[in-house]
Amino acid sequence: MTSRRFELKHRIRFSECDPAGIVFYPSYFVLFNDLMEAWIDSLIPDGFTGYISQKRCGLPTVHLEADFRAISRMGDDVVLSLELQRLGNKSMNLSLACTGTDGVLRMSVKQTVVTTSLDTHAAVPIPDQLRQALNAA
């Protein structure tokens, strides 16, 4: 894995499923947000918590495209992946996916996040520490 690609194995939990026993589609967005936090944790010493609480920066989503290809059921083992597609001055384009251990793509997302000040809520440049980590690929 590089700073531009990050993966985590995950077992689909009961709490992520609907009454039919398949992943309730909003749960994918929670899984992908958790994946992004883990990615940031792996990149900078203070992790995502420090990025939010010390740097006072956020990474809200400003654009999202999702494709649902196959179902995931409770107990399925999947791989969640994130790849940095574009690094801008204030924003990043990410490609995220949920793939079964059988190699079948279950769901994919194209996401744009922007760095914002948590004090003014205005877009701000990506902090140097994070930018340097992302460019270290």
pLDDT digits (tens, 9 = 90+) for 60-101: 999 999 999 999 999 999 999 999 999 999 999 999 999 999
Question: Which superfamily does 5-135 belong to?
Answer: Hotdog Thioesterase (3.10.129.10)
Query: Helix/strand/coil (H, E, C) string of the chain?
Result: CCCCEEEEEEECCHHHECCCCEECHHHHHHHHHHHHHHHHHHHCCCHHHHHHHCCCEECCEEEEEEEECCCCECCCEEEEEEEEEEECCCEEEEEEEEEECCCCEEEEEEEEEECEECCCCCECCCCHHHHHHHHCC
Short-list 28, 59, 63, CA closest to 125: 59
Q: Where are the domains of the chain?
A: 5-135
Report the distance separating Cα 58 and Cα 16, nearest Å.
Answer: 25
Residue 11: the pLDDT is 98
Task: Using the predicted structure, report yes or no on whether residue 104 has a pLDDT greater than 70.
Answer: yes
pTM: 0.93
